[in-house]
Structure 1
Amino acid sequence: MKYLFILVLIFIYSTSFSQNSSSVSGKITFENKAIQSASIELIRTSFKTQTDSLDNYKLENIPAGNYKIQIASRGLKTITKNISLKENETLLLDFQLQENENELNEVVVSGTLKAVKRLESAVPVEVYSPVFFKKNPTPSIYEALQNVNGVRPQLNCGVCNTGDIHINGLEGPYTSVMIDGMPIVSSLSTVYGLSGIPNSLVERIEIVKGPASSLYGSEAVGGLINIITKNPNNAPLFSADVFTTSWLETNADLGVKFNIKKTTSLLGMNYYNYGQTIDNDNDGFTDVTAQNRISVFNKWNFNRTQNRLFTVAVRGMYEDRWGGDVHWEKKYRGGDEIYGESIYTKRGELLGSYQLPTTEKLMLSFSGTMHFQDSRYGTTSYIANQKIGFVQLTWDKKLGKNDLLTGIASRYTYYDDNTTSTATLNENNPEKTWLPGIFVQDEITFSEKHKVLLGIRYDYNSIHGNIFTPRFAYKLKINENNILRLNAGTGFRVVNLFTEDHAALTGSREVVIAENLDPEKSVNANLNYIKKVYFSNGTFLGIETTAFYTRFSNKIVSDYSNPEKIIYTNIDGYALSQGISCNTDINFTNGLKFILGATYMDVSNVENGIKTRPYLTENFTGTWAVSYKINPINIAIDYTGNVYSPMKLPLLSETDPRSPNSPWYSLQNIQFTYSGWKNFELYAGIKNLLNFTPKQKNPFLISRTEDPFDKNVQYDTNGKVLITPNNPYGLTFDTTYVYGPNQGIRGFFGLRYNLF
């Protein structure tokens, strides 16, 4: 009996062992490159793992049976495959992942301040990965956004080429630009803050169209751009991306990862240099500003118990740019002998997040910026200094069907310059603003199909007083392939003209602030619909359509009707931005892919019942990216572009010979990428294939470049410019007539390297 019992135990043990001795292993790669930390799991089981540094994975001790294995990696298509395991079987399975631009299942955080799959978010969030931006390489995120539907980089100065980002026709100050959810890019640095962020360190860019003030406070009145940087744990050991153009523009992005004890650090650098003096339009002024910029970024992740988050990042940036008369040199800076616009910018940033060591999920986030700008616009001096401190504590709690997020935040802004905006009775009086706030958000899941989000925020501005911003969202999941969202909310924004409107500083117009300017407010609603179609042959079609409506009160408008002045007032009425946009993704099984976008919008100011169209707002914009991979020879072809309808442009007088509206215009690019070498990519192409420049069909862009200091301009007794033989159109020097980049066709060539 004793021996029989032992034999039974041995039999049971051996049977159990044989039933659990099967395994699955292999490699996970993307374009023949290793993918670190890709996740592998057997769905609805506890068998999970990740790839190691050599892109290998292994799942062991699996009972025999039928399973569904899933492989996922951020920014790439998720693969799901049915497998069958026999007893004691060792199954070898390699997977080659594919790129997945604008993936609907991408994890996003900008809509609700929580990590959630994009399809599950009640707030529509558009996601763009580095794969999307590599289709048209650019030296800055500012330029990279030109191929995003409904988003347009707008040049504001024809000499120094500074600009901002328009979303759905709204000017740049209506969009809050953040890094890792922190309000890093302030009003002063909106002009320059999007330059110098190393593109190689960007994980993805999330865009929310419509007010997000209930979560993010001031400036998120019209939209939000959140730049998410890479997690150091998932970044390559070393990365480099260097390219140059036929105009001798040179851009270099470098990144390196290293470990020190229980921390992982990611160090990145961006360097951009363009020192040519080119005047193809023959007006005596540079077509493109010369720039010399360097930016260093360092992000640290600290390993803590229970995987609690602690991350800190710093960035420093210096830029020297100038544009103007082709004979200008630094010795003429600020003088009236030869005209030039010269801008020195120094910038420092600190941001981080720390999860408190408590049983509740409490997250402390913080950021700080220092921005110093020393500018000369001809003889006009603009020297400004802005410091911003921000701290926020959030509590994330699930209670049954309620997913609560509450938080308190405070922002302190210090702003000083050498203009009248910070002067009182001829004494310097820097602007110091406190903006504490508290917010509550509740996402209620009634069922798998129905989800509601409610939110409200209260802020107290030390200048303007109490501000409330409520928010509502409803998501209807009709089925897995049809999703409907309704969002509504309000936004607010406090304004500093001199930091936001470049026209207030350049040219010869006098700035007139006709009244005490109240903070701008907006009410927004949008309806979003997502449709996914999977064809039997493997082709995928994704369509996302959004109808939007935003109404502004207290909008600050600029009046250019007097050629000698820019007059700023709160609008006596309201302003509208309304329209419809559509994004379409088409992926064919043969490697051909389309990303198509179109937006039709009606942007207008309504005063005394009269509807007018603001300057520099188009009615229609379209974007596209067509890609095809020829796998046998490892060549990828990307054809990208955009098209814009006419915009109203600021003229100086009725006799101004320039066109009052821009033409239809399109910027198109083509790129060829070779990826046949391990860890390397070689790419080359042509930008602006149609050789478009804004001077076409115009006698000039910048008025009176021959007399930029208006020394030969004559006026009548009422201050109106007189028409004289040497001023036949009665104009003054002005740089505000600009709507697109003044840079024609050019070639580019580059090399990328990633070591995992």
Structure 2
Amino acid sequence: MKTMIVPCICFALFIPESAVSGGIQSNENSSKIQDMVVTATMTEKRIKDAPGSVEVITEQEILEMNADTVAQALEEATGLLMTTETGRMMRPSIRGTGNKHTLVLMDGRRITSGFKDLTGLEQIPVDMIDHIEVVRGPVSALYGSDAIGGVVNIITKKPSKALTMGGTAKYGQSTYGDGDEAAASAYVGNSMGRFGFLVAGGYRNKDGYDMDGVTPDDGDAIGMKSAGGRFSYQLTQGHDLLAGFEAVDRNFNGLRDLQNLDRGRDTNDRRLNYFLEYDGKIAPESSLMLRANRSWHDNEITIDPPTSEIIGSIGDESNAERTLDQLEGRFTSLVMKKHLLTMGTEYLKESREDDTDLDDSVETLSIYAQDEYRIFDPLYMALSARWDHYSDFGSEWTPRLSMTYAILDNLRLKGAWGMGFRAPGFLELYIPTYMSQGKVIYEPNAGLEPESSQSYEIGIQGEYKNFQAGLTCFKTDIDDLIEAVYYTSTGSGKNKKDYYQYQNIAEAAIWGVEFECSLKLPAGFTLSGNLAYLDTEDKTTGEKLEGRPDYKGSVKLAYAYLPLGIRANVRVTHIGERYYADEDQDRMTLVDAYVSKDVTDRFQIFAGVDNLFNSGKDNYEEPEFFYCGIRFSY
């Protein structure tokens, strides 16, 4: 593979300048660096004015990370750790709160959970993504349950106003000559009078690999097909309809050590989301949004040879179907020229069925309101509150107050206080969860209570010429935190099994510091990075919370020379030591590199390497991986 990449890059780098007329900068032009964000307040704000801590991951950054999925696109985000869950699912944990305390949205819409009540972000491709907004800190006051740590909002592209099309194809393999991957994606969009559309699709095939020859396989064979579409229609000026869908069919298989025997595990995950939305300007300073959304997920798991019946009559996760139905209405209006009021209501119904005919559903009715008020010119305040009534868990209400004070035009002080909550999941209450190929068992607890949190943060952000930076301190106290608590082990060596049970820890405390900066250097170089320090405590035991690294940081040195259409970067990510009751997980440092060259204004070649020094093998990181590809646009 290395012998393929080097000639490919050398060929492109020495193409005469006259062959290049601007490069494939349409990617950057069609998805400009995001100055505006919507997730923090549900209304458009400049990122420097948005309350709280907000990070934007642009389409260009996603391309230059070689990210095929949302999970890969988030790996370098500030204060966010991608954690490996059961079935090798990837989930985000923001500020150490845990993988079930980050709410994942798609254009503000909820998506149903998947296997083991988790939404694996490795199952969501980047085919239609315009950018990703990450809000750190509790946002339950706007979005309800699960947003204790924060929100990841995947913002997709909208129908285009003119003909646009493009595609990408790439191939790669690990340094060991296995784990071959081929991937391709394409999109096309146009408008015809009042009607506009954008459709996209992708395909990914990755071979499995096993570095040590011992079960389980280190990497599964993966096949993923995806499609998505957006369709817009302008009813009248200022009144628009938008419909869309996302469909993913993903298969992965490999060997597992289950019940002390090597077994093949074959999994099919299918996901379909579709929605219809109305956006209208019903008065010069008032707008209305109405939306109906449905999200469906189905998984089928085959074990060969089959395992013995270990779950029994309380539920079967091997063949389960989940649906989420969402109805939402939101009204926004400027009142007395100083108050931007947002009011909304939401109805959710989540259902689950499995092969044992154990059906379950939960309904939620919610009401929320927010007042954005510029008290005086430098001081902006946002006050929000939400009430949620659950058919199974009663009612919860969550307020939030955030403020931004402009000390100077280029220097801001931000502060926030907020409450959050998360209702226990169905599996936490009733069904055992088998992780790490059956070597770790999480036992349910029907007596669990909802979690609740209270968080504080204060930070300062600013820019000066080519330098910008931000420093934020935060503290989160969680009551009745639901954690899988280790209590015993059986067997030894290959036959060892660790047993955990979900419990409400009486109180947990998390505090930390986040630092972000960026500096434009001479000759087309940019140096940027982030660092997050985290300290946690289970106040019942006095121990740290499991799986939270003390440090996580990233540094990127990027280079761009647009007259020749050259882009390159080297990225270093460090994840500190993580505490576990049985054995701590060592720190690791990952190095990635990328380079691209515009051959013409419509055609680009690129290449790179992930995990350059083959780090983190004991932490289930993929081995050193080389890739190259082509990209075109029109």
Query: Which range, TM-score by smaller chain?
Result: 0.7 to 0.9
Q: What is the match of residue 384 of structure 1?
A: 320
2:199 aligned with 1:267, yes or no? yes
Q: What is the match of residue 594 of structure 2?
A: 671
1:315-326 equivalent positions in 2, closer than 5 A: 315-324=246-255
What is the aligned counterpart of 2:420 among 483, 487, 491? Answer: 491
1:148-159 equivalent positions in 2, closer than 5 A: 148-157=77-86
What is the aligned counterpart of 1:143 among 67, 72, 86? Answer: 72
2:135 aligned with 1:208, yes or no? yes
For normalisation by structure 1, the TM-score amounts to: 0.73
Instruction: Give, as a single letter, the amino acid of the residue that structure 2 aligns with 1:241.
Output: T
In structure 2, relative to structure 1, the CA distance for the partners of 1:563 and 1:287 (3 Å cut) is same
User: C-alpha distance in 2, partners of 1:130/1:621?
Assistant: 23
2:331 aligned with 1:395, yes or no? yes
In structure 2, relative to structure 1, the CA distance for the partners of 1:430 and 1:611 (3 Å cut) is same
Shift of 1:370: 0.9
2:473 aligned with 1:594, yes or no? no
Shift of 1:450: 0.8
Q: What is the match of residue 213 of structure 2?
A: 282
Instruction: Give, as a single letter, the amino acid of the residue that structure 2 aligns with 1:351.
Output: F
Point out the structure with the larger strand share.
2
Q: Do 2:513 and 2:533's aligned partners in 1 also have CA atoms closer than 8 Å?
A: yes
Deviation string 1:617-672 (CA, Å, 9 cap, x unpaired) is 10000112211124564322210120011112464xxxxxxxx2222211111111
Q: What is the match of residue 343 of structure 1?
A: 267
Shift of 1:431: 1.6
Shift of 1:504: 5.8
1:628-639 equivalent positions in 2, closer than 5 A: 628-631=559-562, 633-639=564-570
User: C-alpha distance in 2, partners of 1:618/1:510?
Assistant: 22
Instruction: Give, as a single letter, the amino acid of the residue that structure 1 aligns with 2:146.
Output: E
Q: Do 2:617 and 2:623's aligned partners in 1 also have CA atoms closer than 8 Å?
A: no
Comparing 234-243 with 522-531, greater Cα deviation is found at 234-243
Q: What is the match of residue 623 of structure 1?
A: 554
Shift of 1:445: 0.8
2:279 aligned with 1:355, yes or no? yes
2:611 aligned with 1:754, yes or no? no
Q: Do 2:23 and 2:603's aligned partners in 1 also have CA atoms closer than 8 Å?
A: no
Q: What is the match of residue 558 of structure 1?
A: 484
Shift of 1:592: 0.5
Instruction: Give, as a single letter, the amino acid of the residue that structure 1 aligns with 2:247.
Output: G
Q: Do 1:205 and 1:228's aligned partners in 2 also have CA atoms closer than 8 Å?
A: yes
Shift of 1:107: 0.5
User: C-alpha distance in 2, partners of 1:623/1:667?
Assistant: 9
Structure 1 stretches of 4+ moved >6 Å: 334-337
Shift of 1:418: 5.0
Deviation string 1:702-740 (CA, Å, 9 cap, x unpaired) is xxxxxxxxxxxxxxxxxxxxxxxxxxxxxxxxxxxxx44
Comparing 663-672 with 460-469, greater Cα deviation is found at 663-672
Deviation string 1:35-94 (CA, Å, 9 cap, x unpaired) is 59x9xxxxxxxxxxxxxxxxxxxxxxxxxxxxxxxxxx6754xxxxxxxxxxxxxxxxxx
Instruction: Give, as a single letter, the amino acid of the residue that structure 2 aligns with 1:553.
Output: D
Q: Do 1:685 and 1:749's aligned partners in 2 also have CA atoms closer than 8 Å?
A: yes
Shift of 1:191: 4.6
User: C-alpha distance in 1, partners of 2:163/2:626?
Assistant: 29
What is the aligned counterpart of 1:641 among 572, 583, 586? Answer: 572
SS at match of 2:180: coil
Deviation string 1:263-285 (CA, Å, 9 cap, x unpaired) is 11110112111134x22122143
Larger Rg: 1
Q: Do 1:185 and 1:193's aligned partners in 2 also have CA atoms closer than 8 Å?
A: no
2:232 aligned with 1:306, yes or no? no
Shift of 1:249: 0.9
Q: Do 2:89 and 2:120's aligned partners in 1 also have CA atoms closer than 8 Å?
A: no
Q: Do 2:189 and 2:197's aligned partners in 1 also have CA atoms closer than 8 Å?
A: yes
In structure 2, relative to structure 1, the CA distance for the partners of 1:502 and 1:152 (3 Å cut) is farther
In structure 2, relative to structure 1, the CA distance for the partners of 1:175 and 1:185 (3 Å cut) is farther
In structure 2, relative to structure 1, the CA distance for the partners of 1:33 and 1:273 (3 Å cut) is closer
User: C-alpha distance in 2, partners of 1:495/1:175?
Assistant: 14
Shift of 1:503: 3.8
2:462 aligned with 1:531, yes or no? yes
User: C-alpha distance in 2, partners of 1:128/1:236?
Assistant: 26
Q: Do 1:156 and 1:502's aligned partners in 2 also have CA atoms closer than 8 Å?
A: no
Q: Which has the higher contact order (CA 8 A, sep 6+)?
A: 2
Shift of 1:314: 0.6
RMSD between superposed Cα atoms in Å: 2.7
User: C-alpha distance in 2, partners of 1:449/1:343?
Assistant: 54
Q: What is the match of residue 477 of structure 1?
A: 406
Deviation string 1:447-483 (CA, Å, 9 cap, x unpaired) is 2201111111111011111111011011101111101
1:340-739 equivalent positions in 2, closer than 5 A: 340-356=264-280, 358-359=282-283, 360-376=286-302, 379=307, 382-400=318-336, 401-417=338-354, 428-496=357-425, 498=427, 503=434, 506-507=437-438, 511-534=442-465, 540-564=466-490, 566-607=499-540, 610-631=541-562, 633-649=564-580, 651=582, 660-695=583-618, 739=619
User: C-alpha distance in 1, partners of 2:191/2:323?
Assistant: 32
Comparing 228-237 with 199-208, greater Cα deviation is found at 228-237
Instruction: Give, as a single letter, the amino acid of the residue that structure 2 aligns with 1:645.
Output: G
In structure 2, relative to structure 1, the CA distance for the partners of 1:154 and 1:562 (3 Å cut) is same
Shift of 1:597: 0.5
User: C-alpha distance in 1, partners of 2:505/2:581?
Assistant: 21
2:190 aligned with 1:258, yes or no? yes
Deviation string 1:545-573 (CA, Å, 9 cap, x unpaired) is 11111111111121222125634343342
Q: What is the match of residue 18 of structure 1?
A: none
Q: Work out the number of aligned pairs and report it.
A: 588
User: C-alpha distance in 1, partners of 2:379/2:350?
Assistant: 41
SS at match of 2:48: helix
Q: What is the match of residue 249 of structure 1?
A: 181
SS at match of 2:202: strand
Deviation string 1:176-215 (CA, Å, 9 cap, x unpaired) is 1111011125365875542454424211100011111111
Name structure 2 gaps, 5 residues minimum: 1-19, 174-178, 311-315, 491-497
Percent identity for Structure 1 against Structure 2:
20
In structure 2, relative to structure 1, the CA distance for the partners of 1:629 and 1:442 (3 Å cut) is same
Q: What is the match of residue 165 of structure 2?
A: 238
In structure 2, relative to structure 1, the CA distance for the partners of 1:631 and 1:357 (3 Å cut) is closer
SS at match of 1:495: coil
Comparing 578-587 with 380-389, greater Cα deviation is found at 380-389
